């Protein structure tokens, strides 16, 4: 099942119950919160590796609801500064920028899937797990320079996939 099919199936299965859950806690912002939950799931590096998608979506929704109430509490506490806070530009990218980044991410993930297993493992160990080159070398029983070569090759594949996206747009 492709990532798009997985996300579509999850949306169809759980959107209504998540909306009901969010409406019980936050009423009018439920739609936004649930939508942000699915966007956060899309941002997961490997959504198909999640063992319980429903529980994960509930956790995301709950966290976003808690963040919403923390924001409301701050606004209430500092009501005088509320108008000033509202006038600040959002750090959330616009829809077109979010779509562009999603396309870049998908191309990069596809490029990573096509890599040899060792390059992909090194990339994830370094970028996702935060391990250093020496730690990865020790773990995999290879030299540090080999780890560097694998990581650089993986990064080059991601960059090439990103540039391919740019080249396709300029045509």
Domain 95-170, classified CATH 1.10.10.10, yes or no: yes
pLDDT digit string (tens) for 22-74? 999 888 899 999 999 988 888 888 888 889 999 999 999 999 999 998 888 87
Residue 171 has pLDDT above 60, yes or no: no
Q: How many CB atoms lie within 10 A of CB 55?
A: 10
- What is the three-class DSSP state of 80? helix
- Give 93's contacts (C-beta < 8 A, 6+ positions apart): 101
Q: What average pLDDT does range 137-152 have in this prediction?
A: 93
pLDDT digit string (tens) for 94-136? 677 778 778 878 888 888 888 899 999 998 899 888 999 999 9
Burial 144-166 (b: 16+ CB within 10 A, else e): eebbeebbeebbebbeebbeeee
Ranges for all domains in the chain classified under CATH 1.10.10.10: 95-170
């Amino acid at each position: 099942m492709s990532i798009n099919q997985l996300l579509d199936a999850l949306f169809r299965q759980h959107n209504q119950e998540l909306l009901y859950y969010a409406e019980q806690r936050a009423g009018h912002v439920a739609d936004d919160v649930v939508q942000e939950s699915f966007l956060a799931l899309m941002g997961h590096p490997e959504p198909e590796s999640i063992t319980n998608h429903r529980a994960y979506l509930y956790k995301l929704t709950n966290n976003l609801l808690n963040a919403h109430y923390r924001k409301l509490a701050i606004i209430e506490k500092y009501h005088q500064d509320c108008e000033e806070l509202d006038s600040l530009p959002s750090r959330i990218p616009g829809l077109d920028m979010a779509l562009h980044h999603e396309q870049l991410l998908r191309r990069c993930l596809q490029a990573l899937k096509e890599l040899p297993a060792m390059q992909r493992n090194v990339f994830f160990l370094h970028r996702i797990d935060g391990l250093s080159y020496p730690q990865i070398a020790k773990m995999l029983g290879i030299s540090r320079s080999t780890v560097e070569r694998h990581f650089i090759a993986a990064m080059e594949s991601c960059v090439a996939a990103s540039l391919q996206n740019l080249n396709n747009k300029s045509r």
